[in-house]
Amino acid sequence: MTRAQEQAAPAPTAAAHHRVFEAGLGLEDVARLREVVTKTLGRRGALPDGERDHKWWVNLANLYASHGSGPVGNILQLMAGTPVMAWCRAQLGDDLAAVLQYCIFRRFDPPRNPVPAQWHYDANIFGLHTPMVNLWIPLVDVGVTAPGLTLVDAARRPAALWERLVETADQAGQFDPETRRRTLFPDADVAAAMAIDPQARFITPQLKPGGVIAFDQQFLHGTQALQPGMGARDSFEFRVMPVDVARRAGLVDRFQVVHVPKAAA
Ligand SMILES: O=C(O)CCC(=O)C(=O)O
């Protein structure tokens, strides 16, 4: 971090949040979320010859635009009643918001040759100092038979890449599209940085549908490397932050920000 950035940066981000839940969502909820994936990403046409699948996702803002508030409201209610949301409230406070553009359903379908999500910290979305938890939820078995998520099991690790992220940010800890691209790290850079950081360890949780990997914006992660024979993976990632954080960061002016209901109806 440059001296100017050090002076301008707000107080260091609060304690890191990270937890793997074996059963964060019930199977009925999983089935409802999976249906959304099937009805959206499952209906896409074949790709032109030789083209890779770049857009293997659809977000809640897209769903809102195409189907109105009903389905999005149902998903918010569903998430609100889960034990994992209770954990989020314990970490971040009772009054939580979700940014619809960053609540994302995915279908990673190997025959479509999808481009995996490159290594990144989610801090490159809303900024270094914007507390936010990503609930990454597989809707099928992941880790062996379908690609899950690989992450580094310690916040702000490996140290060399977190430093690069901080140096790339502007004085307020934010990223524009160009600087954000520079914070998508290639495998070789990650391997080199991991080799010299004894506190950094990769994990790829093997999870059943409805397991959850909860982590905040300080954890490096990317799509698990595809192994021969792996099948398609459906997943949902739901990002939450305190409502006052969303307001202070001006997110309500740039995105569709909604309250997470206090509890399922
Ligand atoms: O689902 C994936 O493979 C990648 C997800 C991801 O990068 C994220 O949740 O930030």
Place of tokens 């040759």: 113
d(CA 108, CA 227) in angstroms, rounded, equals 13
Query: Within a 10 A sphere around the Cβ of 31, how many other Cβ atoms?
Result: 12
Average pLDDT on 209-214 reads 97
Q: Is the pLDDT of residue 14 over 60?
A: no
**Among 106, 132, 133, 139, residue to substitute to test ligand 1 (most atoms within 8 Å of Cβ):** 106
Residue 9 has pLDDT above 50, yes or no: no
Ligand 1 centroid, distance to 8 Cα (angstroms): 30
- The per-residue pLDDT for 100 is 98
Contact 147, 224 (CB under 8 A): yes
Global pTM value = 0.93
Distances (CA, A) of 77 to 60, 128, 143, 252: 13, 29, 28, 20
5 pLDDT higher than 70: no
pLDDT tens digits along 244-254: 999 999 999 99
Ligand 1 centroid from CA 155, angstroms: 17
> From the CA of 4, how far away is ligand 1's center (Å)?
32
Confidence of residue 16 (pLDDT cuts 50, 70, 90): confident
Tell me the pLDDT tens digit for each residue of 154-207: 999 999 999 999 999 999 999 999 999 999 999 999 999 999 999 999 999 999
Q: What separation in Å is there between the alpha carbon of 3 and the centre of ligand 1? A: 33
- Average pLDDT over every residue of 76-90: 95
Mean pLDDT, the chain, rounded, equals 93
pLDDT band per the 50, 70, 90 thresholds, residue 4: very low
pLDDT of 1 above 60: no
Which CA distances in Å does 113 have to 49, 85, 237? 11, 33, 21
CA of 105 to the centre of ligand 1 (A): 10
Q: Which residues contact 50 (CB under 8 A, 6 or more apart)?
A: none
| Complete domains list, the chain, with CATH | 16-43+50-259 (2.60.120.620)
- Helix residue ranges per DSSP H, 47-113: 60-67, 69-80, 83-92
Pairwise CA distance, residues 103 & 228, whole Å: 29
Distance 222 CA to ligand 1 centre (A): 6
pLDDT confidence tier of residue 12, bands split at 50, 70 and 90:
very low
Q: Whose CA is nearest to atom 2 of ligand 1?
A: 223
Substitution site in 237, 238, 240 for ligand 1 pocket (most atoms within 8 Å of beta carbon): 237
Residue 15 has pLDDT above 80, yes or no: no
263 against 103, higher pLDDT: 103
Choosing from 58, 204, 221 the residue with most ligand 1 atoms within 8 A of its CB, the one to mutate for a pocket test is 221
Q: Which residues line ligand 1 (CB under 6 A)?
A: 106, 108, 117, 122, 134, 136, 149, 221, 223, 235, 237
Task: Report the helix count and the strand count for the chain, using DSSP H and E.
Answer: 11, 11
